Amino acid sequence: MTDDLDRRLFLKGAATLTTLAAFGLPAEAFAADGLLTFGAAKPFSFEAVVERAKALASQAYVPPERPAPEVTSRLDYGKVGQIKFRTEAALWADGPAPFPATFFHLGTFFQKRVAISVVDGDKAREIVYKKSYFDMPADNPAQQLPDGVGFAGFRFQESRTGSLDWKKNDWVAFLGASYFRAIGELFQYGLSARGIVVNAANPNPPHDEEFPDFKEFWLEAVPNSTDQVRVHALLDGPSVAGAYSFLMTRDKAVLMDIDARIFTRNDVARFGLAPLTSMYWFSETVKQTAIDWRPEIHDSDGLALWTGAGEHIWRPLNNVPATIVSAFSDVNPKGFGLLQRDRNFDHYLDGVKYDLRPSAWIEPLEPFGEGAVQLIEIPTDDEIHDNVVAMWVPKAVVKGGQAYTLKYRLHWAADEPFPTNLGRCVATRMGNGGQPGTKRPVGVRKFVVEFLGGPLKDLAFGVTPEVVLSTSRGDFSYTFSEAVPDGVAGHWRASFDLTVTGPDPVEMRCYLKTGDQVLTETWLYQYHPF
């Protein structure tokens, strides 16, 4: 679990008071070698972080400090891989919080200094970087770094009292810009979340994409809790500043209640809130011949939407020929997420456990208002790039000098937390159109969409669902539904041919019904003719 986190985070980054203090001992009491050293105590409250963010947004932007770049520029992936945090120096290795915190070292891909403090009541002390916290070879360039340069990020290890060895297992990590990740109930890292997305996909030049940073963190134990920890963060970027509070629960799934207060310096063309980012290379739907030995490679295979009107929608992801932004307009959505629905190991055959990657779901805790869930899909030719973003974008134009409050719960789980009771889409397949035994016509594509469960498993014998279809352009033919001949109750498929000319994308919509009864969630698909 940890090795895969390190590998993926560093590859993506290239593209983009301990217990003693709780008992009142002074900072000097734990300045010994192998234990953490702390700075002077300073007043702390989340509202003070909010005020700092507000003040930052009213001033000219100052980029984060990059200490000793002549050293960190030589700490490539291999060199950083030699540096291991000493778990005996972990924050809360002996309490009071249940989850010890360990720290990421600066390196080539993560050169920005991140300040990390620990909260004790209404005071906080910064954790001072020292080489003694890390094991590293004598010839590693990091040996040249002075004390106090800061960290790149941090992660929480599993509970000291749990069944897993906390020194070898972690469950959440914050590293790089405003990125953070957590494992799901299947004990595997996968997709990431971000604090905010600013001008992704360059919607209105010269408003190029920005990557604001969580420049300072405060870690806080939750009194008397065995499964929670709190993190506060200060975010800053060229066009925005913000204060974030994360109440994180390590349960069967990982839950994060997020309170975000965001202030704008400048106008923002695309203001992405509660963003998720993932990787989709290929699946059984579209795969170039012999592009890779594995059948499928993706951290997520679709976008799920639960609209304000109550409709459940499934939109399979694409590896697009060019960057595409899709918008799903809504008012007060009930939730959305990037999911990994395909859990069959035989569909991946890879030891990095794509079949166990978590799904992430955004649940608004206060109404989001009017806007759209926007999905950005970017072409990729490898699995090391995050090429998918899903986020909430308010309808109103975002100008400098504005303030926003957003409260939501982020679920890291195996599945969406509020699944529909209708049949769910479990596969999207395509091939040449036409009928067997005849010459296949040019420009005709056959689609087979599989649904499973819900009312489908209770259909009376002899009842065949009706396929309800619509398209932005083109014509349908050979449309029918049938039970998938695998003996699984409630497993049906809709089959249809689409005839279309020209290269422009085609937006399709499909669901199954009998009479006035809707049997399945709604399948949306963006087809790129080829």
What distance in Å separates the CA atoms of residue 135 and residue 217, rounded to the nearest whole number?
A: 24
| Strand partners of residue 369 | none
Are 291 and 233 found together in one domain?
no
Contact yes or no for 75/108 (Cβ under 8 A): yes
pLDDT attached to residue 441: 87
Dihedral over Cα of 19, 21, 23, 25: its sign: positive
Q: What is the per-residue pLDDT across 287-309, written as a single tens digit (0 to 9) for each?
A: 888 999 999 999 999 999 999 99
Q: What is the C-alpha end-to-end distance of the chain, expressed in Å?
A: 38
CB burial class (10 A; 0-12, 13-18, 19+) of residue 429?
middle
pLDDT, position 377: 98
CA 374 to chain centre: 14
- pLDDT confidence of residue 31: 36
Structure-token match 């609209």, residue found = 307
Residues 6+ apart with CB under 8 A from 259: 46, 244, 245, 405, 406, 407
Section 421-442 average pLDDT = 91
* Chain mean pLDDT for the chain: 92
User: CA 6, CA 10: separation in Å to the nearest integer?
Assistant: 6
Q: How many C-beta atoms surround the C-beta of residue 453 within 10 A? A: 21
Over range 466-473, report the average pLDDT: 98
User: How would residue 14 be classed by pLDDT, with cut points 50, 70 and 90?
Assistant: very low
**pLDDT digit string, tens, across residues 269-278:** 999 999 999 9
Domain of 517: which CATH number?
A: 2.60.40.10
Report the share of the chain in percent with pLDDT over 70: 94
Pairing mode of beta strands 115-120, 213-221: parallel
Q: Tell which wins on pLDDT, 187 or 15.
A: 187
> Does residue 364 share a domain with residue 286?
yes
Domain boundary among 419, 447, 482: 419
The residue count of the chain comes to 530
Q: Give the per-residue pLDDT at 316.
A: 98
Give tens-digit pLDDT for 492-509.
999 999 999 999 999 999
> How many helices (H) does the chain have, and how many strands (E)?
5, 35
Residues 126 and 250 in one domain: yes
| pTM of the predicted protein model | 0.92
Dist CA 38 CA 206 (whole Å): 43
Do 371 and 440 lie in a common domain?
Answer: no
| Residues 497, 479 share a domain | yes
For the segment 371-399, what is each residue's pLDDT rounded down to a tens digit? 999 999 999 999 999 999 999 999 999 99
- 442 falls in which pLDDT band (50, 70, 90)? confident
Least confident of 68-77, 112-121, 195-204: 195-204
Handedness of CA 65, 68, 74, 77 (dihedral sign): negative
Assess contact for 400 and 265: CB atoms under 8 A: yes
Q: How many domains does the chain have?
A: 3
Distance, in Å, from the CA atom of 450 to the CA atom of 444, rounded to the nearest integer, reads 20
In the chain, pLDDT over 90 holds for what percent of residues?
89
Quick check: 13 pLDDT over 50? no
Mean pLDDT of 38-49: 97
- Give the CATH number for residue 380: 2.70.98.10
Band of residue 29 on the pLDDT scale cut at 50, 70, 90:
very low
- Domain match, 476 and 369 both: no
Domain boundary among 243, 265, 287: 265
Identify the domain boundary among 247, 265, 283: 265
Check residue 15 and give its pLDDT: 33
DSSP-derived letter for residue 32 is: S
Give the other-Cβ count within 10 Å of 148's Cβ: 13
Please state the φ and ψ torsions of residue 417, each to the nearest 5 degrees.
Answer: -75, -20
Residues 152, 114: one domain? yes
Check residue 440 and give its pLDDT: 84
> Rounded to whole angstroms, how far apart are CA atoms 249 and 245?
13
> Do residue 381 and residue 488 come from a single domain?
no
At 35, is the secondary structure helix, strand, or coil? Answer: coil
CA-to-CA distance for 27 and 121, rounded, in angstroms? 15
Residues 6+ apart with CB under 8 A from 442: none
Distance from C-alpha of 476 to C-alpha of 497, rounded to nearest angstrom: 5
Question: pLDDT at residue 128 above 70?
Answer: yes
Both 240 and 380 in a single domain? Answer: no
| DSSP summary character for residue 407 | E
Do residues 494 and 449 make contact, with C-beta atoms less than 8 angstroms apart? yes
pLDDT in tens, 220-259: 999 999 999 999 999 999 999 999 999 999 999 999 999 9
DSSP 441-453: PTTEEEEEEEEES
CA pair distance 299, 341, nearest whole angstrom: 10
Report the largest interatomic distance among the alpha carbons of the chain, rounded to a whole angstrom.
84
Residues 194 and 341 in one domain: yes
In degrees and rounded to multiples of 5, residue 525 shows phi and psi of -150, 140
Angle at 143 between CA 138 and CA 148, to 5 degrees: 150
Q: Please tell me whether residues 200 and 101 are part of one structural domain.
A: no
Kindly state whether residues 206 and 217 are assigned to the same domain.
no
Q: What are 315-353's pLDDT values in tens digits?
A: 999 999 999 999 999 999 999 999 999 999 999 999 999
Report pLDDT for 16: 35
Range of the domain at 57: 1-176+212-265
Query: Are the C-beta atoms of 454 and 519 separated by less than 8 Å?
Result: yes
pLDDT tier at 28 (50, 70, 90 boundaries)? very low
The answer to whether residue 7 scores a pLDDT higher than 50 is no
How many CB atoms within 10 Å of residue 310?
Answer: 8
